[in-house]
Structure 1
Amino acid sequence: MRNIFLLIFAILFISCKEDVLPKPKAYLSLVYSTKSYENLKLKRPYSFEVLKNTTVINEGDNWLTIKYPNLKASIDITYRPVENNIKELLTEAEKLVFKHAVKAEQIIPKDFVNSKKRVFGSIYEITGNAASHIQFHITDSTKNFIKGSLYFYVKPNYDSILPAVDYIKEDILRLVETLEWKK
């Protein structure tokens, strides 16, 4: 009888704890600086607006790198003249995009056309843990071709860097919208 009494007492004593509640969801709060743009200062066969708080590095051959030091990211831009090889340049650009299909969850293409400025191209948003999350190419279809890629210098974890991808995506759209070819 004594053992039963001790067992009941132990059960009551152990079970008299507060209920365990799940922790509320927390959201990452990132604060980015206010955006201000300026024209590209390097002499190139093209010009566009670039975010002021980035570092633009001259890579030669009209290539350049736009670095985002605080985000550990860069937009790598390559330039090639069109010499009756537009189909090859477009095919090569698309091959580079779809190399990420192995790790990508989705590749979302968006075409861009500005007939007045003769700026035609596509922007590819790559979701998932791919090495590059945005790639684009722009051409006037007769003389100039630009290919750009967004890279982060961290191990790909799409959920963690998505806010930074969205932040830089605005700058890439601005780059494409303000691009002009020099004569």
Structure 2
Amino acid sequence: MLKKTIGLSLICSMLLLIISCKGDVLPKPASQLRLDYPVAQYASFSNHCPFEFEMNEDAVIKEDKNCGFSIHYPKMKATIYLTYKTVNGNIDLLLRDAQKLTYEHVIKADDILEQPYINPDKKVYGMFYRVNGNAATNGQFYATDSIRHFVTGSVYFYAKPKFDSIMPAASYIKNDMQHLMETIKWTRDR
């Protein structure tokens, strides 16, 4: 009788275990971090330098020497560096240096897209480079009037470049850089 009771309780226990299982446990799909940035609001920036431009209101600007600027994006851990040079019959050299700086990243870049910019009304001509891949910079540009003024810009992140992880921030800042380049105005001759 004891054997039947133990056998019966063992069978009941097994049935309870089988019945109590609700179904297959499925793994959750992999999720990605969603980075949402505010819609960019731009404000005009000018000082004693011979050019002005519009920049993102969320960025913090710091003037460096010789009308150069560092535009910091603290939330994205990135900085746009602007450099100003006076053209003194050396436009070919300035253009060559700007292009060389961009194409030094070709080793790590997946591709570099060139987008010319021409605004004859403001006398601003330039090139915007979108650098895709694990390069140190994801965007660069130059703008000039070809006679007196030459401005270059590039963005750098404070992290080892991993394009997949910084892509949302890189896209946001590249759009800001392009807006900055397209709003450059020469304020006086120097």
Both proteins in one fold, TM over 0.5: yes
Pairing 1:59–2:64 present: yes
Match of 2:37 in 1: 32
Choose from 52, 61, 65 the match for 1:47: 52
Could you list the structure 1 runs, at least 4 aligned residues long, displaced by more than 3 angstroms after superposition: 18-23
Instruction: Compute the TM-score of the two structures, normalised by the length of structure 2.
Output: 0.83
User: Bigger radius of gyration, 1 or 2?
Assistant: 2
**Do 1:46 and 1:181's aligned partners in 2 also have CA atoms closer than 8 Å?**
yes
Distance (Å, rounded) in 2 between the aligned partners of 1:48 and 1:116: 15
Distance (Å, rounded) in 2 between the aligned partners of 1:140 and 1:169: 22
Distance (Å, rounded) in 2 between the aligned partners of 1:23 and 1:157: 25
**Do 1:42 and 1:58's aligned partners in 2 also have CA atoms closer than 8 Å?**
no
Match of 1:134 in 2: 139
**Do 2:138 and 2:174's aligned partners in 1 also have CA atoms closer than 8 Å?**
no
Q: CA deviation at 1:27?
A: 3.4
Identity of aligned residues (%): 41
Instruction: Compute the TM-score of the two structures, normalised by the length of structure 1.
Output: 0.86
Distance (Å, rounded) in 1 between the aligned partners of 2:107 and 2:169: 22
Paired amino acid for 1:123? F
Q: CA deviation at 1:28?
A: 2.6
Cα RMSD of the aligned pairs, angstroms, is: 1.8
Match of 1:178 in 2: 183
Question: What is the aligned length?
Answer: 169
Match of 1:74 in 2: 79
Distance (Å, rounded) in 1 between the aligned partners of 2:135 and 2:25: 39
**Do 1:82 and 1:141's aligned partners in 2 also have CA atoms closer than 8 Å?**
yes
Distance (Å, rounded) in 1 between the aligned partners of 2:142 and 2:91: 12
Distance (Å, rounded) in 1 between the aligned partners of 2:88 and 2:67: 16
Gaps of 5+ in 1: 1-12
Distance (Å, rounded) in 2 between the aligned partners of 1:131 and 1:34: 25
Match of 2:172 in 1: 167
